[in-house]
Amino acid sequence: MSSHAVSETDSTSDWNGGKSPFGVSYGKMFMWFFLVSDALTFSGLLCAYGFMRHKHPEVWPNPGDVFTHFPFYEGHIPLAYVGLMTLILIMSSVTMVLAVEAGHRNDRKKVTFWMLLTIIGGAMFVGSQAWEWYHFIVGTEHGAMRNFVNSDGVWVTETFKGANMRVNEYGLPVFANFFFFITGFHGFHVFSGVIINIVIFINVLAGTYEKRGHYEMIEKVGLYWHFVDLVWVFVFTFFYLL
């Protein structure tokens, strides 16, 4: 298997076969194209959210009023825990890219170290998201008056605490629906990313990539992990800030 130099200036020969015109291996190219398609899925969801949100601007709940709790703290700090979740995910992105960099030097010990930190960061994020969901579903102590059909099938007007798919104390049901769908879909991506990272981590421990001679698999799952962080940056802005 020869490894000849690729000439950057002679662009016509890029497309004559014998090498990748994109200058990357097949696996990396596939991961990039998959990420473009997944990014479009999330963009569609966020556009749908924006559409619904501006359809009902006078009653849309302000996320700074809804997401105010922090673990082990009894008061109300708007968006503090979400900010912490963003920080955790960015940190896990940094540890991931450091694992990739260590892989480029075939430094197996460092790859193991940084991958472990990445997995821990991802697991912390998923746990935090689950905590947010729990508090969102259970609701506040005072709840709010709502018109709804209760569990006996009777149409009532009473104080409702928490949120489900048909009625919630924060405002419109569609706000809760979008919250669950967007953060749930993103959280599912984070969760699957953590699982994939664990599989790759086990492979690193087993020496698969030492035998292979390169750590490109770390780079490929790193792309997926950074994509998850990228989506969170946009979800954080459009859902919680704007």
Partner 1 sequence: MSEFHDDYPQYELMAHHSEEEGKKKRRKLWNVFWIMLGVTIVELIIGFQASSWGLLNEDRTSNGILKVIFIGLTIGKAFFIVFSFMHLGDEKKVMKWSVLAPYTVFILYLVWICVEEANYAKVNKHPMDAIVVQQKIELNEAAKSGHGHEAGATHEEHGATDATHEAHGEAAKPAEGEHH
CB of residue 1 to partner 1, shortest distance in Å: 5
26: its two tokens: 């097949």
Span 61-100, contacts to partner 1 by CB under 8 A: 61-62, 64-65, 68, 76, 78-79, 83, 86-87, 90-91, 93-94, 96-98, 100
Q: How far apart are CA 233 and CA 242, in angstroms?
A: 12
CB of residue 94 to partner 1, shortest distance in Å: 5
CB of residue 241 to partner 1, shortest distance in Å: 5
**With 0-12 CB in 10 A as exposed, 13-18 as middle and 19+ as buried, what is 52?**
middle
Residues in contact with partner 1, shown as a per-residue x/- string from 188 to 227 under the rule CB under 8 A: ------------------------xxx-x--x--xx--xx
CB of residue 192 to partner 1, shortest distance in Å: 18
Residue 120 DSSP one-character state: H
45 part of the interface to partner 1, by CB under 8 A = no
Q: Name the segment binding partner 1 (CB under 8 A); options: 34-42, 123-131, 180-188, 194-202.
A: 34-42
Residue 239 DSSP one-character state: I
150 part of the interface to partner 1, by CB under 8 A = no
Q: How far apart are CA 159 and CA 166, in angstroms?
A: 15
Q: How far apart are CA 61 and CA 177, in angstroms?
A: 13
Contact 226, 121 (CB under 8 A): no
23 part of the interface to partner 1, by CB under 8 A = yes
13 part of the interface to partner 1, by CB under 8 A = no
Q: How far apart are CA 167 and CA 156, in angstroms?
A: 12
Handedness of CA 33, 36, 38, 40 (dihedral sign): negative
Residues in contact with partner 1, shown as a per-residue x/- string from 97 to 136 under the rule CB under 8 A: xx-xxx-xxx------------------------------
